[in-house]
Amino acid sequence: MVGVAVNEKTFDRAKARPTTGTLGKAMDVLDAIALSPEPPRFTDLLNQLGVPRGTLHRQVSHLVQEGLVVANRDHAYELGPRLLQLASRAWSTNSFRRIAEPHLRALHEISGETVHLGVLSGHEVVYLDKVESRQAVRMHSQIGNTSPAYCTGVGKAMLSVLDDAAIADIAARTDFVRHTPTTLKNTTELAAEIAEIRRTGLAFDREEHEPGIHCVAAPIAAEESQFIAGLSITAPSFRVPMAQLEAYGDAVTATANAIKDDIVTRLGPRRS
């Protein structure tokens, strides 16, 4: 079997994170396996991570022994059942997701379109929950998947609540890939977009990440919480025109505010 052709950008997150001892090094390997477009073989990991062969062999062996990674019949590595069980457990017991879920379903009832809940992780959106459209629509988003913040509605909504210094830092670490003709091209365009989102309270993805898919989004940011989240209504542009998407704006904002209020009440600091 020929080794996997590695895209260098696939593992930016693993390479950019500071390595912290043995666990940090093992996480680099786990990230590389998880983010690979196809199960990588040992030589793929060796070429990508640039660590000594013996060190990498020990790290992979430990991950296999712990059930976090498995080797398939082609001698390539995939995520193991223990990791999938932990991920499932984390998703099902996540307090924020459980608080937001009924609000997401109520917003879905209003629109009938796909509703996303995401959290900001560095310069990426991590999808925490998703209520599917009543219509069959294929799109990149899945629970646990990541997307760039600069070219997604929910990502730009979350960026808008950060201060200018934090946005500048994220922009400096962003590779402005042109996914579509409407994708933002640089820091200047992103700054102008953020200014407009701050003015209106709404963010739009104008087919910037996936052709034919657009969305309206709003941030969820409570001072009492140490995270930034956002939600969106996403729909295919051929079926839902921009005017209809804009009309959903009030409902998206109201839902974001309702979730924020619930967070403050149920997850905020306890007062004696």
* Domains within the chain, CATH numbers bracketed: 8-84 (1.10.10.10), 91-267 (3.30.450.40)
Beta carbons of 149 and 170 less than 8 angstroms apart: yes
Task: Give residue 13's pLDDT.
Answer: 46
CB atoms within 10 A of CB 157: 34
pLDDT < 50 regions, the chain: 1-19, 271-272
13 vs 27, 111, 131, 246, CA distance in Å?
Answer: 11, 35, 27, 34
Measured between alpha carbons, how far is 213 from 205 in angstroms, rounded to an integer? 8
Task: Give residue 156's pLDDT.
Answer: 97
CB atoms within 10 A of CB 177: 12
Beta carbons of 17 and 28 less than 8 angstroms apart: yes
Task: Give residue 138's pLDDT.
Answer: 59
**Amino acid residing at 40:** P
Contacting residues for 182 by C-beta, under 8 A, at least 6 apart: 206, 207, 208
Measured between alpha carbons, how far is 31 from 69 in angstroms, rounded to an integer? 11
Which pTM value belongs to this model? 0.69
Give a three-class secondary structure readout of the chain: CCCCCCCHHHHHHHHHCCCCHHHHHHHHHHHHHHHCCCCCEHHHHHHHHCCCHHHHHHHHHHHHHCCCEEECCCCEEEECHHHHHHHHHHHHHCHHHHHHHHHHHHHHHHHCCEEEEEEEECCEEEEEEEECCCCCCCCCCCCCCEEEHHHCHHHHHHHCCCCHHHHHHHHHCCCCCCCCCCCCCCHHHHHHHHHHHHHHCCEEEECCCCCCEEEEEEEECCCCCCCCEEEEEEEECCCCCHHHHHHCHHHHHHHHHHHHHHHHHHHCCCCC
